[in-house]
Amino acid sequence: MYLCYVDESGDPGLESPTPHYILSGFIVHAAIWHPVLQALQQVRRRLKAAFGFPVRAELKGSGLIDPRRLPAARRKIYRDLGKRNVRVALYRQYMSALPKIHLRYKRVFTFSVAVDKEKVKIFYRQHDIIRMAWERFFDRYNTFLRHNHAYGMIIFDGEPQPRLRAILRRMRYYHPIPDGTTYRQARVAHIVEDPFFVDSAHSFFVQTADMIAHAVYRFLYPHRYRRYRLHTLYEYLLTPPANMVIKEVTRYNKYGIVPIPTIKNAPV
């Protein structure tokens, strides 16, 4: 049994200032859940020793880059770390620790789905960003589980969302995908139960998914804060021999990032 912790970067609104909507999964096999939790706790203790970041405080990638986006109650914790270069150093230390956890315990993975909202407006008549992103995410996660002869669950940040439950339930019975000149049913049969929802403030696993999602955003959109080399944060997860990214989720790139729209030969 695999547990997939999911968090997002950006938002699904077409008219919002963000150009993206990204879902990232941090996947852990249930048999090693407790050792991985202990490893994440050790990483957080090292962050406290090196930077003074509280172990129990919620860690958010966007907050490390720009604390102004955080609620006032949490903003002070991030600002007390110091200048942005210090916060980026903390981010790098966390991301560099994740492949080591994968190398030690093996069955720890990640992949992402990234929606380019401007391209969706151009190439698609329907602009339901949530449906596009989550259908692709459920499908790719189900494929990973099927190839590993396993079953899995989804744990997502936030309050229960009936929309996600409805999407997954429909895909269990009706999920046609292109197969040459026709379609075939690829029912999502390896994801058990409906998605579970937790408050990210109480889960190191969901916070890790958040860090990955924001790193994917910086990887795909490197134009801001270029001097901090934020686009290299995601590259820690791609570094051999501890490559924890599931590259097989897409044939459009080698980064384990499923692009939407999937336009052949188009950049991610």
Whether omega for the bond prior to residue 241 falls within 30 degrees of 0, making it cis, is yes
Q: pLDDT, tens digit, for every residue of 35-67?
A: 999 999 999 999 999 999 999 999 999 999 999
The pLDDT of residue 266 is 42
Residue at 75 is within a domain? yes
Nearest Cα to Cα of residue 110 among 52, 6, 40, 25: 25
The token duo for 77 is 């914790």
| C-alpha span between 221 and 44 (Å, rounded) | 27
Instruction: Give 148's DSSP letter.
Output: T
| C-alpha span between 123 and 115 (Å, rounded) | 12
Three-state DSSP class for residue 96 = helix
The pLDDT of residue 264 is 52
Number of domains in the chain: 1
What rounded mean pLDDT belongs to the chain? 91
Three-state DSSP class for residue 151 = coil
The pLDDT of residue 185 is 84
Residue at 132 is within a domain? yes
Nearest Cα to Cα of residue 110 among 184, 36, 166: 36
Does 82 score more than 70 pLDDT?
yes
Whether omega for the bond prior to residue 99 falls within 30 degrees of 0, making it cis, is no
The token duo for 64 is 């490390």
Residue with tokens 């992402």: 112
Residue at 268 is within a domain? no
Which residues make Cβ contacts (< 8 Å) with residue 8, sequence separation at least 6?
21, 22, 23, 24, 157, 213
Residues 140-157, mean pLDDT to the nearest whole number? 96
Residues 148-174, mean pLDDT to the nearest whole number? 92
| C-alpha span between 265 and 259 (Å, rounded) | 11
Does 268 score more than 80 pLDDT?
no
Alpha helices in 52-186 (DSSP H): 61-65, 72-79, 84-105, 117-123, 129-147, 162-171
CATH of the domain at 200: 3.30.420.10
Which residues make Cβ contacts (< 8 Å) with residue 145, sequence separation at least 6?
2, 151, 152, 190, 191
| C-alpha span between 134 and 137 (Å, rounded) | 5
Residues 186-191, mean pLDDT to the nearest whole number? 92
Does 16 score more than 90 pLDDT?
no
Band (183; pLDDT cuts 50, 70, 90): confident
Q: Please work out, in degrees rounded to the nearest 5, the angle formed at the alpha carbon of residue 93 by the alpha carbons of 76 and 199.
A: 55
Residue at 265 is within a domain? no
Three-state DSSP class for residue 194 = coil
Residue at 50 is within a domain? yes
Band (178; pLDDT cuts 50, 70, 90): confident
- Other residues' Cβ atoms within 10 Å of the Cβ of residue 172: 14
**Which residue segment(s) compose the domain that 238 sits in?**
2-260
Three-state DSSP class for residue 259 = strand
Answer yes or no: are the C-beta atoms of 139 and 132 closer than 8 Å: no
Residue at 266 is within a domain? no
